[in-house]
Amino acid sequence: MEIQKNVSLKPYNTFGIDLPAQEFLEIESVTTLQQVLQLANRPEFFVLSGGSNLLLTAPLKALVLYMNIQGKEILKDDGQTAIVQAMAGENWHELVMWSLSMGLGGLENLALIPGKCGTTPIQNIGAYGVELKDVFYACEALEIATGRICRFTPEECNFGYRDSFFKREGKGAYIITSIALRLSKTNHKLSTSYGAIQSELSQRGIESPTPMDVAEAVIAIRQSKLPDPKVLGNSGSFFKNPVISTTEYTALKNRFPELPGYPQKDEMTKVPAGWLIEKCGFKGYRKGDAGVHVKQALVLVNYGTASGQELLELAQSIQDKVRNTYGIELTPEVNII
């Protein structure tokens, strides 16, 4: 177990914030993770995964456990569906492409999402009409208090929009070590109703798409709207899309007739945060190296040397303006540390 001292976290967060970790340990096996947790005088620790949903605003004093446990395999195959397992440190997009290359369906809409497999259940990643919960079979996690490996069913994960048990009751109590997904081998159920996917497929002249065709369309859409973190630091959507009561939505719609809204269950309506931010004049805004993406107002970007504090101040000024204009509170989707 080799603990490194004073390690720059710049390569480990997609915003590219250059802050150090006082102590840093790469975790390559579940056994090492268990050993760390059993250490007498166990130091305070911080679990770091793909760093793609993280805004660092201060150096990390806790021991950083960088989750890099590798391995993926097909656990079961009944001819109709296959259960695929991936260890926490596997790159998510590589898992998506690997499953598609074997003819498995289910992950096509979730192509090109940055990050590692272990964190996908925490916020129930989602894109283009599909969420992780739609294919989720189970996950395993280390219970920090006992060192035991626990298994979680979809019900126990209690998924919501960018939300799960691991963000609420289970927060800070578990470290996810692997995930298992149920994917289709035949009769793929494709979700192509999200507007941009349909038009992308038609443009390509594809009428009966395969899961791989859908993934390629999704990749093209993402590349046209969302910045590549390797080129321009960012953390995807910075805020969640706010969900307000339909009564409140209707009242707002009277004042702002163009306000888009997507009906949800329980008389609630989801409003696109990107629209609110754009209408508040922030799309393409830049102060120093902290900015709002020119093509997607929900994405904050680091043009080079922005500090986490500068990005946080920008996020706060966006929240203030949206609150003052629309009376809507934007909640960050990224973890601010």
Residue from 23, 162, 178, 200 carrying the catalytic annotation:
162
Active site (annotated) includes residue 237: yes
Cβ at position 260, least distance to ligand EPU in Å: 5
Helix/strand/coil for 330: coil
Residue from 23, 237, 307, 310 carrying the catalytic annotation:
237
Task: Specify whether the CB–CB gap between 47 and 9 falls below 8 A.
Answer: no
Residue 32 or 317: the one with the smaller Cβ distance to ligand EPU is: 317
Cβ at position 227, least distance to ligand EPU in Å: 10
Tokens of 6: 């004073």
Cβ at position 236, least distance to ligand EPU in Å: 2
How many Å is the Cα radius of gyration of the chain? 21
CA-based nearest residue to 237, from 280, 300, 186: 300
Q: How far is it, in rounded angstroms, from Cα 333 to Cα 234?
A: 13
Burial label for 255, CB within 10 Å (0-12, 13-18, 19+), is exposed
Residue 24 or 239: the one with the smaller Cβ distance to ligand EPU is: 239
Tokens of 230: 């390797």
Residue 66 or 275: the one with the smaller Cβ distance to ligand EPU is: 275
CA-based nearest residue to 93, from 236, 194, 203, 210: 236
Bridge partners (DSSP) of residue 307 are: none
Cβ at position 121, least distance to ligand EPU in Å: 14
Q: In 5-106, which residue ranges form alpha helices assigned H by DSSP? A: 30-38, 92-101
Residue from 28, 248, 278, 333 carrying the catalytic annotation:
333
Active site (annotated) includes residue 248: no
Residue 66 or 128: the one with the smaller Cβ distance to ligand EPU is: 128
Q: List interacting residues with ligand EPU (CB under 6 A).
A: 127-128, 225, 236-237, 240-241, 260, 272, 274-275, 278, 283, 296-298, 333
- Which residues are tagged catalytic? 162, 237, 333
